[in-house]
Chain A
Amino acid sequence: MDNGVENYRRFREGDRNALVEIIRDYRDGMILFANSIVKDMGLAEEIVQEVFIKLVVKKPKYSGKSSFKTWLYSICRYTAIDFLKSIKKRKELDMDAVYSLSDETDLEREYIKEEQRITIHNAMKNINNDYCQVLYLTFFEGFDNSGAATIMKKTNRQIENLIYRAKKALRSELEKEGFVYEKL
């Protein structure tokens, strides 16, 4: 992941292939993350695409205060929230949600790979949105509490409480489906 900073520097200097590499490294995770927010795989892909379009058009400066991935996921979250606001205004959702289910399954299998983790990811769809985001960031993307706090614009304490409640809600949800995960 350290290549992200270097690639983004190269991209700002005019090398578009560097952005292609960034897309290869971060696109799938960002889509799943956006999906945890908008609960729509097609819209999540559109959100991630919009994130990269913003990078190309505006070429925002990366300050280095956080990791590149954290900075990139923060942009993705803001973009997803903006999409949700615009969708609420339109009060309609894209009918592509039907096909997005299969896409989501494929992406989960390709990106998450482990069956157990896939089960957990599926169970996350039924819990609170914030729980879903913080669990995805910490459990699937490997962010620590500080990174998740940065992305979700919350304090570490808030993230800790949020993670605690999210795990509790996820355990309850898994028990409904007959799964018992002691690690949770």
Chain B
Amino acid sequence: MLFRVDPTSTVPLGDQIAASVRRAVADGAVTPGERLPAARVLADSLGVNVHTVLRGYQRLREEGLIELRRGRGAVVTEGASPRRAQLLERVREVVADARELGLTEEELLTLVRAELGA
């Protein structure tokens, strides 16, 4: 899969790596069960720190897109469908928009809850 990072961007490198994986899952370039490159291999490849890659992988794990297993590395989960990845992208956009509008966390959560309860 393709990873791209822009060191001049304000977005943290780990998040950029996570975004590459999310994008690949969203366009179906990566399917469940597939193994992501080992953190060391990817760090060498992009010329970034291993911890930066691990931070990105950790983030993907929190989103449920990958599982991190000792000895097996990072594997794309069974539930990581393209639609799920697209949904995650939209959640990120919603949060970014809310921040731009100056909404507090509580205000945003209230909006989401209202929608969920509707």
Same complex: no
Chain A residues proximal to chain B, CB less than 8 Å: none
Chain B residues proximal to chain A, CB less than 8 Å: none
